[in-house]
Amino acid sequence: MVDRPLFLVSLSLITIGILFSYSLSSFAVLYYGYGEFHFLFRQLIAGILGVFLMWGISRCEPDRFILRFGFILFFGGIFLMFIMHFLPESLATSAGGAKRWIRLPFFSLAPVEFFKIGFVTFLAWSFSRKFSLLEQKTLKEEFVTFLPYVVVFLIAVYLIAILQNDLGQIVLLGTTLAIMMIFAGSSFKLFLYLLSGAFVLFVGVIVTSTHRIQRVKTWWAGAQDLILSIFPQSIANSLRVENLPEPYQIQHSLNAIANGGFLGEGLGNGLIKLGFLSEVHTDVVLAGIAEEIGVFGLICISLLFVVLIFRILKIANRCATNMHYLFCSGVAVILGFSFLINAFGISGLIPIKGIAVPFLSYGGSSILATSIMIGMVLSISKKAKRV
């Protein structure tokens, strides 16, 4: 029997996402000249398809389906992300000077959203064969074992961070890789070495891109007063940077949260969506939600995500096979950190990354990919041990 609470929580989040795709898109509707229900209908269709996908995939036999379907998404995602760069503008939609969506009839496909499912599947399959919680290896042996995954990750860096100019997804995939490696049984010492290498790579990717340097400067403009307040005045003055760009995204997000207060301005009454931030229903949807239903509403949504992650990890803990355990753990990491990265971004703790909030951010690819992940976990839950 599938995990019914996980399905119901997912259904609740899909419903909330559909509701706010209508409430937060009013300015975008006017700006682009769309019909009043343009975004609502599209998100509603994606949500309904997502529910049917969850239900259909949950009925599949996990031992046969998970690995096969996951590898199709893994290699298919790599192929689509590569050829997308060479497609004409009529077939590929650009964002920030990079192509991120493939245009299909009535739908724009973001291959990276589906590649993430394949990435987790590949890691779960391979880690379950290469690592063992009972097997002790030297640090050198662990490095040799891990080298192929470095190659795979560097391919992802090229396809996503360089060709698509999307560093946020790479941060998410790198975090997933590191945590799944620990779950698989690698040593903490290897984790620290790889974390150091990832930091060097992260800095290198930033300093080689004018766009990313500008984004870091914008974040520091809004965050430096808070961070430097913990240092002595002499040190704070030496670290302070003047004449930085205006952090309008973070400022407007914080203003929306402050304006919403504890109970919010009321559904449909938010101001941030009225041109202060473009397309608030996508990247900064949590700020728009906080303004309309307040901190209390945001806490309720956060609790739904806590229950979602808890149910997935509970299924992972009861899995009969190591691969299924690692797959469910990877899905929990992907969904949990997607929510946290977005939440930390709108609060000014980190630069805004542009990562969709699972089920809540507007976008067909995101909601369908998340539904597929949950459907695969539900399929695995049928074979999980009962306690």
Q: What is the mean pLDDT of residues 7-32?
A: 90
Q: What per-residue confidence (pLDDT) applies to 134?
A: 46
H or E segment at 98? Answer: strand 98-104
Radius of gyration of the chain (CA): 21
Does the structure show a pLDDT above 80 at 36? yes
Buried b (16+ CB within 10 A) or exposed e, 91-117: ebbeeeebbbbbeeeeeebbbbbbbbb
pTM: 0.89
Half-sphere exposure of residue 220: CA atoms within 13 angstroms, side-chain side: 13
10 Å CB burial of residue 249 (0-12, 13-18, 19+) is buried
Q: What per-residue confidence (pLDDT) applies to 228?
A: 72
Q: What per-residue confidence (pLDDT) applies to 95?
A: 67
Buried b (16+ CB within 10 A) or exposed e, 276-290: bbebbbbbbbbbbbb
Q: What is the mean pLDDT of residues 132-156?
A: 76
Tokens for 341, please give them: 């990265």
Phi, psi of 283 (to 5 degrees): -70, -35
Does the structure show a pLDDT above 70 at 135? no
104 vs 94, higher pLDDT: 104
pLDDT band at 103 (very low <50, low <70, confident <90, very high): confident
| Cβ neighbours of residue 297 closer than 8 Å, sequence gap 6 or more | 263, 264, 289, 290
Residue 62 CA to residue 68 CA, distance in Å, equals: 10
Tokens for 326, please give them: 């690692």
Q: Are 7 and 54 in contact (CB under 8 A)?
A: yes
**Shortest CA distance to 178 belongs to which of 186, 204, 311?**
186
Instruction: Compute the mean pLDDT over every residue in the chain, rounded to the nearest whole number.
Output: 85
Residue 262 CA to residue 339 CA, distance in Å, equals: 20
| Cβ neighbours of residue 96 closer than 8 Å, sequence gap 6 or more | 165, 211
Q: What is the mean pLDDT of residues 136-150?
A: 77
| Cβ neighbours of residue 148 closer than 8 Å, sequence gap 6 or more | 126
| Cβ neighbours of residue 214 closer than 8 Å, sequence gap 6 or more | 245
Does the structure show a pLDDT above 80 at 322? yes
Tokens for 182, please give them: 């620990």
Does the structure show a pLDDT above 90 at 359? yes
Residue 227 CA to residue 26 CA, distance in Å, equals: 35
What is the SS3 assignment for 101? strand
